[in-house]
Amino acid sequence: MRKSFDPTTMLSHITVDKVGVEERVARFQTRSIKSESKLQGLKMVLNMIDLTTLEGKDTPGKVQQMCYKAQHLHDVHPGLPCVAAVCVYPSMVGTAKKALSNSSVKIASVSTAFPSGQSTREIKISDTKFAADEGADEIDMVISRGKFLAGEHSFVFDEIAAIKEACGKARLKVILETGELSTLDNVRLASDIAIHAGADFIKTSTGKIQPAATMQVTYTMLMAIKDYFDKTGIMVGMKPAGGISTSKLALHNLVMVKEVLGNAWLSNDWFRFGASSLANDVLMQIIKTETGLYQSTDYFSID
Amino acid sequence: MDILKTYKIYIGGSFPRTESGRYYPIADATGKTLANVCLSSRKDVRNAVVAARKAFGGWSEKTAFNRGQILYRIAEMLDGRKGQFIDELMDQGISKSKAEKEVEQSVDRVVYYAGWADKYQQVASSVNPVSSSHFNFSALEPMGIIGIIAPQENSLLGLIELAIPAICGGNTAVVVASESYPLCSITFAEVLHSSDVPGGVVNILTGKVAELAPALAGHMDINALVSCPLGELQTSLALSCVENLKRNFIYTDPNRQGLNFITDLQEVKTTWHPIESIGGATSSY
């Protein structure tokens, strides 16, 4: 049965202390990580990446190539994990499905008129159903930011609930596009709405708008997940996406997840990075940690 | 009141302190401390290489003429601050006449390479005779990032003699300044900074050669290593260069000026272009 929106019980009505968030986030960035743990952390990061291509110029060839990379990150160095998933447009799900048939890598598809979300409910639902029918394991939807900012919270809630229904077995990630929400209070509010409407994951950004996944925003969303878990015992996943292109930033994010939510979230079932260039930087760091030599992009695959 | 200058390093067009937070003192001839200078670390080398790689695309794609203009601008700015460089050299114990000569020559070298910027390509490229119907020509392309270990003596002139031809040819550079006389290198960075040289094209680090040179030699993203003789260190650096087949140039001759300082740091690209015949009476050319 589809849930209906009840602001009094569902929203935390918490106002976010921006200065406090910034201070807490700054502390996550000062943790000293020893090289042995760093290596484990980097491998964990690799295993949490949603390798992403979301461009107008995407072709089946590009997607096939990316799917190959998802399974063979850097074959000259054996023993590396593969990424968690590939993330593509609905029209490319079929191609990705075929390319990943014998692999543990999942297929995530964006939907609901990504990235703007400016379309009708019917189109968004059929967009989602199409992606799910093509074989997507995960659906990344965008919320209607215009409606949200206009205060039509029940519209946003109902839309997420409807898409959740259309997903079938696929897990639903809800993109808040925090770069358009202006304040951390709005981020918290949107997180609460998405979580209560049935999101399996909440995700920061489409990657098309700056700023994207800043640590402040991710922290605010992690706190929403924590409060919901404390209240209900239900886990919700988190996916920062956009702007995380260095290993260092990725490790800071892992530290934050561990300290806010705990070890249970340190797996790609509950935490993902949406990124296109992060994987290469992490690979270069892994090789650097093992050989002591700083690496060059010349020796790693381009996509 | 005297204001003591803080000598920082030059990375990506800004003047950060070394990430390691370490310093070493530079004393004048009488043993009085002149300044504290950054003792850069491997991580500063890493940051400098990232900055140099970022700057490489834009710099190498500028027109040769424009690079010449910018080099000439460096010479102008250097000339305008002659007095400061001479004083700085003298503070570090160099005689007045030597200091003046060194700064004069430094300006001279920059003008020399500014002139070469849009000419070396014509002089060093070639159209090659081949025995098939191809138009075959070889042209130069910059190598990429050049790691430079400036000589210990002639701290200003030496740095200029190794770094300027590298950037003249469209490369970007990470320079380790003279360990014992580092002051002019950072003042020269200020000259670069005010001469339309894009940030990251030249990056200058101060510190121990024995610590920084191996980091340069082992770095996979540096395409060539340039130095003057370095004694015992030389062999281990050469071995590190093997890892990514980095070119390793050691200039032993103290006279360091010439076209080869540009062309050594260029790759040659040869193109075979199918065509009927070249240069004959019936040629379409």
Domains of chain B: 23-274 (3.40.605.10)
- Taking an 8 Å cut-off on Cβ atoms, the answer to whether B221 and A293 are in contact is no
Residue from A177, A175, A180 nearest A109 by CA: A175
Quick check: B2 pLDDT over 80? no
Quick check: B281 pLDDT over 80? no
The number of beta carbons lying within 10 Å of the beta carbon of residue A47 is 15
Residue of A280, A296, A297, A300 to mutate for B, most B C-beta atoms under 10 A: A296
- Closest-CA distance, B191 to chain A, in angstroms, reads 30
Set of chain A residues whose Cβ sits within 8 Å of the Cβ of B215: 294
User: What percentage of chain B exceeds 70 in pLDDT?
Assistant: 96
Q: Which residues pair with B136 in a beta bridge?
A: B128, B272
What local confidence, expressed as pLDDT, does residue B283 receive? 59
pLDDT in tens, A23-77: 999 999 999 999 899 999 999 999 999 999 999 999 999 999 999 999 999 998 8
Quick check: B1 pLDDT over 90? no
Question: Beta strand A49-52 with A273-275: parallel, antiparallel or unpaired?
Answer: parallel
What local confidence, expressed as pLDDT, does residue B279 receive? 61
Cβ distance A157 to A128 under 8 Å? no
What local confidence, expressed as pLDDT, does residue B28 receive? 87
Cβ distance A224 to A261 under 8 Å? no
Average pLDDT over residues B19-35: 90
- Closest-CA distance, B127 to chain A, in angstroms, reads 30
- The number of CA neighbours under 13 Å toward the Cβ of B9 is 32
The number of beta carbons lying within 10 Å of the beta carbon of residue B21 is 9
- Taking an 8 Å cut-off on Cβ atoms, the answer to whether A296 and B243 are in contact is no
First vs last Cα of chain B: how many Å apart? 72
Is the C-alpha dihedral spanning A284, A287, A290, A291 positive or negative? negative
Active site (catalytic) residues of A = 140, 203, 239
Per-residue HEC secondary structure of chain B comes to CCCCCCECCEECCECCCCCCCCEEEEECCCCCEEEEEECCCHHHHHHHHHHHHHHHHHHHHCCHHHHHHHHHHHHHHHHHCHHHHHHHHHHCCCCHHHHHHHHHHHHHHHHHHHHHCCCHHHHHCEEECCCCCEEEEEEEEECCEEEEECCCCCHHHHHHHHHHHHHHCCCEEEEECCCCCCHHHHHHHHHHHCCCCCCCCEEEECCCHHHHHHHHHHCCCCCEEEECCCCCHHHHHHHHHHCCCCEEEECCCCCCCCCHHHHCCEEEEEEEEECCCCCCCCCCC
More confident residue, A290 or A146: A146
Q: Based on the number of CB atoms within 10 Å of its own CB, is B1 exposed (0-12), middle (13-18) or buried (19 or more)?
A: exposed
Lowest-pLDDT choice from A178-187, A247-256, B201-210, B270-279: B270-279
Quick check: A10 pLDDT over 90? no
Q: How far apart are CA A303 and CA A57, in angstroms?
A: 14
Q: Which domains does chain A have, with CATH numbers?
A: 20-299 (3.20.20.70)
Set of chain A residues whose Cβ sits within 8 Å of the Cβ of B49: 294
Diameter of chain B measured on Cα atoms: 80
Mean predicted lDDT score pLDDT of chain A: 94
Q: In chain A, which among 270-299 make CB contacts under 8 A with chain B?
A: 292-299
What local confidence, expressed as pLDDT, does residue A271 receive? 97
Q: In chain B, which among 110-139 make CB contacts under 8 A with chain A?
A: none
Q: How far apart are CA B177 and CA B163, in angstroms?
A: 11
Average pLDDT over residues B51-75: 97
User: How would residue B99 be classed by pLDDT, with cut points 50, 70 and 90?
Assistant: very high
With residue A86 as reference, give the H or E element that holds it.
Answer: strand A85-88
Q: Residues with Cβ < 8 Å from A55, sequence gap 6 or more?
A: none
What local confidence, expressed as pLDDT, does residue B280 receive? 63
